[in-house]
Amino acid sequence: MRLLHTMLRVGDMQRSIDFYTKVMGMTLLRTTDRPDQKYTLAFLGYGSNPEHAEIELTFNYGVDHYDLGTAYGHIAIGVQDAAATCAAVKASGGNVTREAGPVKGGNTVIAFIQDPDGYKIELIERDA
């Protein structure tokens, strides 16, 4: 078995594509528009399946906001330098919600950012 993608429902497709490509450095891999079913999909990532997991953004026509609920946690992305990544996110207009620093009770350096729809993304510092 292999993790293929994580789906997030978004309120503004272009705003979300801009965030994940311009702020997070992902590549827009493909899009699908299904007007008869009233939704659009965009797949983004740092590479495509099967070598890399992707993020699937889903925009349902006429829906511009979702309640995230209390069950959703976060997406995690490995980075070489969490502090530098936070600085780049801020410089691109992104929202850092926890600056880089050690995880409570450990030594791993983490940080958190938030996408335009409120989804949290954990940055975990690790070697390439």
Closest C-alpha among 23, 51, 29, 52 to residue 42: 29
Domains, the chain, with CATH or none: 5-60 (3.10.180.10), 75-125 (3.10.180.10)
What is the predicted pLDDT for the residue at 82? 97
119 residue type, one letter? Y
What is the predicted pLDDT for the residue at 128? 59
- In the chain (128 residues long), the average pLDDT of successive 10-residue segments reads 91 97 97 97 94 95 91 93 97 97 95 97 89
What is the predicted pLDDT for the residue at 3? 86
Q: In what order do the strands lie in the sheet with 5-9?
A: 5-9, 54-60, 39-45, 27-34
81 residue type, one letter? D
Give dist(CA 5, CA 11) in Å, integer.
Answer: 19
> Would you please indicate which residues are annotated as catalytic (active-site) residues?
122
